[in-house]
A and B are shown apart, each in its own frame.
Chain A
Amino acid sequence: MALEKELETYKLKLPELKAQEGKYALVQGVNVVGTFTSYEDAMKEAYAKFGLDSEFLVKQIRSIEEVQFISRLVVPCHISPPK
């Protein structure tokens, strides 16, 4: 599955990332590459460092996973396998 490894890395590293709550973590493979104050900065660094073909994850650091609420009937899409 796409980003599976990165999501696992984020989960494993979360205890040490908690000190940077609210920042955005850039994760690739088994490495947390850096943390950034804004989503845009994290994405810029991700594309600059890994280009267009590599997978990477940008995720806001939250001690408790934030849940997005959508009151309308929509169907969220799981991360699909890479094509």
Chain B
Amino acid sequence: MVDLIISASEAKKAALIAARQSIPQVLLVRGLIDTGASCTCVDPVVLKSLNLKPTGSTSVHTPSTGGAPQSAATFDVGIVIPCIGSVPFILSTIEVIESQLFLSQGFHALIGRDVLSQCHFTYNGLGGYFNLAY
């Protein structure tokens, strides 16, 4: 699990500033690093809080979709993974899939391989820790 900050994308923030509208507050959420997810997913509760509208669509295959992929809404967001004492990992405009993540599991986002492909991720099972280098 990692803490991450989700906000409107930089592209949307620029438009909000140009329109002299307020920028929605960023949200600090828990994310699960999931190498089994090809794309990052965010729970609708988070996207609704940021007052975002869908800006895309993609086909998704999960255990819940049965044998055929299903069309899902995508949103543009900004994601920051803070790092104490160092520079944060910043993705200023990234496409994420809106998915119900069952919040009782304790996270609001799945960090997928689209994000991991932009950094170096290692998991040390014996040591019980992971590294995320960027």
Are A and B interaction partners? yes
Find residues 94-114 in chain B having any chain A CB closer than 8 Å to their own CB: 94-95, 97-102, 110, 112
Q: Is the CB of B55 within 8 A of A58?
A: yes
Apart from A43-B93, A67-B61, A70-B39: 6 A-B pairs, beta carbons within 8 A: A43-B9, A59-B56, A69-B61, A71-B37, A73-B62, A73-B102
CA distance A76 to B63 in the complex (A): 11
Task: State the B residues within 8 Å of A (CB).
Answer: 9-12, 14-16, 18-19, 21, 34, 36-39, 41, 44, 53-65, 69-73, 76, 92-95, 97-102, 110, 112
Q: Given A52-B21, A57-B55, answer yes or no on A76-B11 (Cβ-Cβ < 8 Å).
A: no
B112 to chain A: closest residue by CB = A70
Q: Given that A44-B11, A47-B14, A52-B12 are known contacts, is A70 also in contact with B37, CB under 8 Å in the complex?
A: yes
Chain A residue, CB-CB nearest to B91: A40
* Subset of 23 A-B contacts with CB under 8 Å: A46-B11, A48-B15, A51-B19, A56-B55, A58-B56, A59-B57, A66-B59, A67-B60, A70-B37, A70-B61, A70-B110, A70-B112, A71-B34, A71-B37, A71-B62, A71-B63, A73-B63, A73-B102, A75-B99, A78-B70, A79-B57, A79-B71, A80-B54
Contact, CB under 8 Å: A47 / B63 = no
- When the two chains form their complex, are residues A70 and B62 in contact, meaning their CB atoms are under 8 A apart? yes
Contact B55 A75 (CB under 8 A): no
CA distance A34 to B77 in the complex (A): 21
| Chain A residues near B36 (CB-CB < 8 A) | 69-72
Provide the residues of chain A in CB contact with B110, threshold 8 Å. 70, 72, 74
What are the 9 A-B residue pairs with the smallest beta carbon separation, nearest first?
A71-B36, A76-B72, A47-B15, A43-B11, A40-B93, A77-B98, A75-B100, A79-B73, A68-B39
